[in-house]
Structure 1
């Protein structure tokens, strides 16, 4: 906190800012489910984005990232907030502030904000949602906007959809805003009903493994998968009253699958229907402390993402296979796919040997050195008072 305060004074001049933190997130199971209206099972992490913020007397926004120092201070006018390519990372906080204003929240002054993030770049742990939510939390506090966590998540999703132009679901922003230490969130992405599920990992740990493969295909394939799901839903709506694919049970799917127009769309729906069941089952088995059953569900999830949804790719498959051979209780890709990260459930005593063996085997297979992060399950967005340091 002292280092951030010193950097803030250096960049923006003397005077203190208020400090806020929003975590990154990982989805434990329930992949590509959020935009199909079903349950997902994310948790907030202990890494994330710090924002130190202070009101100004004029209408300027001045934004600075310690992760992108070479870009200097990025400036925008509160009266004319627009998406601009050259604003780069700053489009996320600018988009959040623009969304707050368009939603009727009153902010008459500009702000200075300094950001620092310890989420690994490009890892798929949702740094974009983290920076949106932490910006919203700072504005909420500085201008007394009285926004609750759920509304903050909805506004952050809107910022990413409408300002940044990424057609994401609600899961990332919800997990970042509403996370709870040592709990996962069972979230219904259709109704936004949710419950907290204790993560009693006992003598096990979660390890995020980064393929270090840039997710070049992820955005285009994400949009393609959404279209395939929408097309299949339209086929099924000819004979059934359905709002989204996650209303379909496995027995419904087996009865109705021939009504889906082509084989590819049918495979996509098979993943969605059975992954949705796995997600609900995961919350049940974790509540009873059955980590072996949870690990099996993770493994089944990856298999379905590889064979039916086809969003894994060579690197993710190599990393998961190496993890399973090295004794992971469960291993699966997490995020959009085509690179990014895997999430692994590993016995705590085996962490060091697991990372050594998987790292070696993955590098031999792909020529890329992976990175590993042993993560703790943290809280959602919060204000950090200096006396807590």
Structure 2
């Protein structure tokens, strides 16, 4: 893909381009904790968006998407482009200018190998790649955390997605052999070791679209806020579920709906599971880490109720295979992927077992995506 991007740039705009990459991400544990100001544990992966870019002497930017095979001209001070892929580039440039940068016109060609529709954050990878590239070629001086916020605000203000910051943060801060324990309240982070020798990380994409995800996301968020409001009547200084302990929740359980209690219980327990999982990683204990992944899926399925039949089926099959250390749904829910930590010697047989059993049950095979934890945004040439 890198070579293809460079060759396409030379064909369209001549030589002299700089080449950058920014990866997609997986989240090992910590789901629906971000908007409750808890912890997440993402890692950058070895699938990325690649951007070739060079300033031009004209009055507009010239952009080409390799994946869509489309070319447009764009004035970053003019109307927002109609093409959604161009809106990400337009948004990043405008968010940079809001922060005092001067973005002169440029030529850009981009494309990637982040699987689309699997919840691996190709959009955040694009925002991060564009931001990192423009920051470098124009020597703008933004730090990686600022670039993550620029990407997040691009989603909010130009694409219409009210996302958290995890995806952009992982794409920019990722390191090979490490996952990122990110505190979503303070944005403090710690690189935790993740190099499970003799194991592989693989995703099984159910190909089920998240038809309920956006509406149910708002419901879950409101339920969590309702639980916080009950506790706040008795305990001062409580701003989110991050501030609520299980003892507090249990003390005032009688004042909230049972479903609200279960939603809040899941979030509090998931934050603790993540911290316990990180402690296991620091000891090189991937068996315990896998057990925490399993616990995460159980909580998401039973207490938070954001799973679906296909995700539960994949997790259940994984539990019966002694070569699988852990398996859980990943992402917002109601479809998408499971993420699995599998011993290398059991890997081939497990993939065959999953494909056979899933196709027998649901009439189609899941998409199999093997990933390796890799480095974040960087310059290639």
TM-score, length-normalised on structure 2?
A: 0.95
Instruction: Give the C-alpha shift of residue 29 in structure 1.
Output: 0.3
Alpha-carbon distance in structure 2 between the residues aligned to 1:181 and 1:256: 44
Instruction: Give the equivalent residue in structure 2 for 1:8.
Output: 9
Count residues in correspondence. Answer: 378
Q: Is 1:375 matched up with 2:376?
A: no
Partner-residue secondary structure (3-state), 1:374: strand
Partner-residue secondary structure (3-state), 1:323: helix
Q: In 2 relative to 1, CA 223–110 (structure 1 residues): closer, same or farther, beyond 3 Å? A: farther
Instruction: Give the C-alpha shift of residue 52 in structure 1.
Output: 0.7
Instruction: Give the equivalent residue in structure 1 for 2:42.
Output: 42
Instruction: Give the equivalent residue in structure 2 for 1:359.
Output: 355
Q: In 2 relative to 1, CA 99–236 (structure 1 residues): closer, same or farther, beyond 3 Å? A: same
Instruction: Give the C-alpha shift of residue 3 in structure 1.
Output: 2.6
Q: Give the conservation status (yes or no) of the 8 Å contact 2:230–2:252.
A: no
Instruction: Give the equivalent residue in structure 2 for 1:185.
Output: 180
Q: Is 1:66 matched up with 2:61?
A: no
The equivalences for 1:145-164 within 5 A come to: 145-164=140-159
Q: Give the conservation status (yes or no) of the 8 Å contact 1:81–1:98.
A: no
Partner-residue secondary structure (3-state), 1:49: strand
- Structure 2: state its 5+ residue gaps: none
Q: Is 1:126 matched up with 2:121?
A: yes
The equivalences for 1:296-375 within 5 A come to: 296-327=291-322, 328-375=324-371
Q: Give the conservation status (yes or no) of the 8 Å contact 1:81–1:94.
A: no
Alpha-carbon distance in structure 2 between the residues aligned to 1:98 and 1:226: 30
Alpha-carbon distance in structure 2 between the residues aligned to 1:60 and 1:368: 46
Q: Give the conservation status (yes or no) of the 8 Å contact 1:59–1:79.
A: no
Partner-residue secondary structure (3-state), 1:187: strand
- Structure 1: state its 5+ residue gaps: none
Alpha-carbon distance in structure 2 between the residues aligned to 1:363 and 1:94: 42
Instruction: Give the equivalent residue in structure 2 for 1:197.
Output: 192
Instruction: Give the equivalent residue in structure 1 for 2:227.
Output: 232
Alpha-carbon distance in structure 2 between the residues aligned to 1:81 and 1:223: 31
Q: Give deviations 1:346-386, integer Å, cap 9, x for gaps.
A: 0011111111101111111112211112211101100102x
Cα RMSD of the aligned pairs, angstroms, is 1.5
Instruction: Give the C-alpha shift of residue 131 in structure 1.
Output: 0.5
Which structure 1 residue ranges, 4+ long, deviate > 6 Å from structure 2?
Answer: none
Alpha-carbon distance in structure 2 between the residues aligned to 1:258 and 1:104: 52
Alpha-carbon distance in structure 2 between the residues aligned to 1:226 and 1:60: 42
Q: 2:76 aligns with which of 71, 75, 78?
A: 78
Q: In 2 relative to 1, CA 221–62 (structure 1 residues): closer, same or farther, beyond 3 Å? A: farther
Q: Is 1:273 matched up with 2:288?
A: no
Deviating more after overlay: 143-152 vs 215-224: 215-224
Q: Give deviations 1:259-303, integer Å, cap 9, x for gaps.
A: 33x222222111111001101111001111111111111111001
Instruction: Give the C-alpha shift of residue 51 in structure 1.
Output: 0.7
Alpha-carbon distance in structure 2 between the residues aligned to 1:13 and 1:106: 22
Instruction: Give the C-alpha shift of residue 217 in structure 1.
Output: 2.1
